[in-house]
Amino acid sequence: MEQCFVGIDISKDSLDVHILPQGRQYKIANTIARIKHLAKKLKREKPELIVIEATGGYEITAAITMAEEKLPVALVNPRQIRDYARAIGRLAKTDSIDAYVIARFAQDVRPEIRENLTIAHLHLKELVARREQLIEMRSSEKNRLPRVHSPQVIETIKLLIQMLDQQIKQIDEQLNDTIRKNPTWSQKAELLVSIPGIGKKTASTLIVMLPELGSLNRQEIAALVGVAPMNRDSGALRGKRSITGGRALVRKALHMPTLVATKRNIIISNFYSRLTSNAKKHKVAIIACMRKLVTIMNCMLKNNQVFRPEF
- pLDDT tens-place string over residues 155-180: 999 999 999 999 999 999 999 999 99
Is there a contact between 25 and 15 (Cβ–Cβ < 8 Å)?
A: no
pLDDT: is 47 or 245 the higher one? Answer: 47
pLDDT at 115: 60
C-alpha 86 chain-centroid distance: 25
Cα first-last separation, the chain: 49
- What residues contact 8, with CB distance under 8 A and at least 6 apart? 15, 16, 17, 50, 51, 52, 53, 59, 62, 99, 102
> What are the tens digits of pLDDT across the range 98-126?
899 999 999 998 887 866 667 777 778 88
Measured from the Cβ of residue 118, the count of other Cβ atoms closer than 10 Å reads 11
Residue 306 has pLDDT above 60, yes or no: yes
DSSP states along 122-149 = HHHHHHHHHHHHHHHHHHHHHHHGGG--
What SS3 class is residue 153?
A: helix
CB 52 within 8 A of CB 10: yes
Distance (Å, whole) CA 105 – CA 6: 9
Averaged over 72-79, what is the pLDDT? Answer: 86
Cα dihedral sign for 109, 110, 112, 117? positive
Average the pLDDT over 241-266 and give the result: 85
**How far is 247 from 172, CA to CA, in rounded Å?**
21
- Cα separation, 291 vs 222, whole angstroms: 6
Please, which pLDDT band fits residue 55 given cuts at 50, 70 and 90? confident
User: Among 84-88, 182-186, 231-235, which is the least confidently predicted range?
Assistant: 231-235
Q: What is the pTM of this model?
A: 0.75
CB 28 within 8 A of CB 58: no
| Residue-averaged pLDDT of the chain | 88
Residue, of 28 and 237, whose pLDDT is higher? 28
Instruction: Report the pLDDT value the prediction gives residue 206, as an integer from 0 to 100.
Output: 93
Residue count (the chain): 311
pLDDT at site 236: 53
- Report how many helices (DSSP H) and strands (DSSP E) the chain contains, helices first: 12, 7
Is residue 85 over pLDDT 80? Answer: yes
In one-letter notation, the amino acid at residue 268 is I
Beta strands 49-53; 5-10: pairing state: parallel
All residues at 6 or more sequence positions from 235 whose CB lies less than 8 Å from its CB, including other chains? none
